[in-house]
Amino acid sequence: MEKRREKIGIVEKMAYAITNIGNIPVQTILGSYLLIFYTNIVGLNPAACATLFLIARILDGLNDPIVGFLIDHGPTTKMGHFRPTLMLGSVACGINFFLMFYGPYMATSGKLVIAYITYLLIGILFPVMDISLNSMLPVMTSDVKERNVLSSIKGFAYMAGVFSLNIVAPLIIGDTTIAGGYLKLVTYATIIIITFSVVGTLGIRERVQASQGTDSYKFKDLFKIIAQKPVWVTFLAALTYYVGTYILNTANTFFSNTYWGI
């Protein structure tokens, strides 16, 4: 790797924090409110929604390595290697996130089909956004101390963002039996996803680039990696974790709505 040590300014650090905040609403809102919106507002069958979520979690294990491979082998432009895919992925993910709620709600027929298409599609578009963002840290600087600072900023942005969203979201939704609150939350979240991600990406730079002639793994090597036992163990652990998280978040929302009237 060709490395050039350069300190990261405060403005760029703020831009990096903003970019990470733009990443938060997608999984946070989907994990807490999508199922109850689909069942209580749109009228979809809970079993069909649960099947969709399980299929999507399994496909995530295949989507992420393939998306990562395509991003890694994509062209390097004047903007850098990961910034273009981060911006494009954020815009596409934000639009699809918007359609996941408005599509089934506005449709007069085929609501479940729209839900399946948009939800499975988010499993491809969100990794484009997320993998590109996670790849930015090692290419922003080769200075270990600066990387540690950026990592701390990323962690703080996620903690503060999730905490704030979990407080504000119920206030925006209000009456959980009315669609307006959900749609308002999704509209605000879509604006945050696209605006924060794009503006933040424009404020950060890629300084560490691969030198010419660096060996690169091929697509067939991807299957060798996926076939390794530690990879499958990690996949099953992650699958169990995310399924449990989705069940917990959704159950909390249902419980609060049904028994507490919140």
Residue with more model confidence, 97 or 177: 97
pLDDT at site 167 = 92
List pLDDT tens digits, range 153-175: 999 999 999 999 999 998 999 88
Q: Is the pLDDT reported for residue 261 higher than 70?
A: no
Q: For the chain, which residues make up each domain, given as ranges?
A: 10-206+217-259
> How confident is residue 256, by pLDDT bands cut at 50, 70 and 90?
low
List pLDDT tens digits, range 171-190: 999 888 899 999 999 999 99
Q: Is the pLDDT reported for residue 36 higher than 90?
A: no
> How confident is residue 209, by pLDDT bands cut at 50, 70 and 90?
confident
C-alpha dihedral sign at 69, 1, 87, 9: positive
Range from 23-32, 56-65, 112-121 carrying the lowest mean pLDDT = 56-65
**47: amino acid identity, one letter:** A
Q: Is the pLDDT reported for residue 3 higher than 50?
A: no
Distance CA 161, CA 17 (A): 10
The DSSP code sequence of 176-225 is: TTSHHHHHHHHHHHHHHHHHHHHHHHHT-----BPPTT-----HHHHHHH
> How confident is residue 254, by pLDDT bands cut at 50, 70 and 90?
low
pLDDT at site 41 = 93
**What are residue 73's phi and psi, to 5 degrees?**
-100, 10
Q: Is the pLDDT reported for residue 133 higher than 90?
A: yes
List pLDDT tens digits, range 186-199: 999 999 999 999 99
pTM score: 0.81
Q: What is the pLDDT averaged over residues 36-46?
A: 91
- What's the CATH number for 10-206+217-259? 1.20.1250.20
